[in-house]
Amino acid sequence: MESTQTSEFRPLILVAEDDDSNFKLIKAIIGKKCDILWARNGEEMVNLFQTHGEDAKAMLMDIKMPLMNGLEATKIIRESNTTIPIIMQTAYAFSSDKENAMKAGATEVLVKPITLGVLRGTLSKYLPDLQW
């Protein structure tokens, strides 16, 4: 029996999310096609980015987190990388939240609860080689 290996594109996605259930939802939506590293706050995300940023293809960043919020973390990351897609997530649908996220350097802002179609569609926009 011959074994055929396919080199499937498995992008590394860095996820900053302080809520376990929200992270589990994200993992359930993208975990079969993406490698995921999890940060529980903005400070951890900055550290993850410093360690794995060259390999990461995108970031999912919650805005409201302890220690350092997603806006602050995004500003720090943007100082060294202006191209990685940073998709911010917020539970608040106020236009001011979206404006603040975009000013901080977000590529896009999604409103929670995150759905399968929205998250996969958004990632596909920035990672066209990703096949769901």
Which band of pLDDT confidence, cut at 50, 70 and 90, is reported for residue 124?
Answer: very high
**d(C-alpha 56, C-alpha 38), whole Å:** 12
pLDDT-derived band at 120 (thresholds 50, 70, 90) equals very high
Distance between CA atoms of residues 130 and 30, nearest Å: 10
Q: What digits encode the pLDDT tens for the residues 7-41?
A: 688 999 999 999 999 999 999 999 999 999 999 99
Read off the tokens for 73.
């973390």
Name the residue ranges covered by the structural domains of the chain.
12-120
Phi and psi torsions of 80, nearest 5°: -115, -15
CATH of domain 12-120: 3.40.50.2300
Tens digit of each residue's pLDDT (9 = 90 or more) over 52-95: 999 999 999 999 999 999 999 999 999 999 999 999 999 877 88
Q: Where are the beta strands (DSSP E) in 1-132?
A: 12-16, 35-39, 56-62, 86-90, 108-111
Find out whether 16 and 59 touch, Cβ atoms under 8 Å. Answer: yes
Helices first, then strands: H and E counts in the chain: 5, 5
Is the pLDDT reported for residue 1 higher than 80?
no
Q: What percent of the chain has a predicted confidence (pLDDT) above 90? A: 86
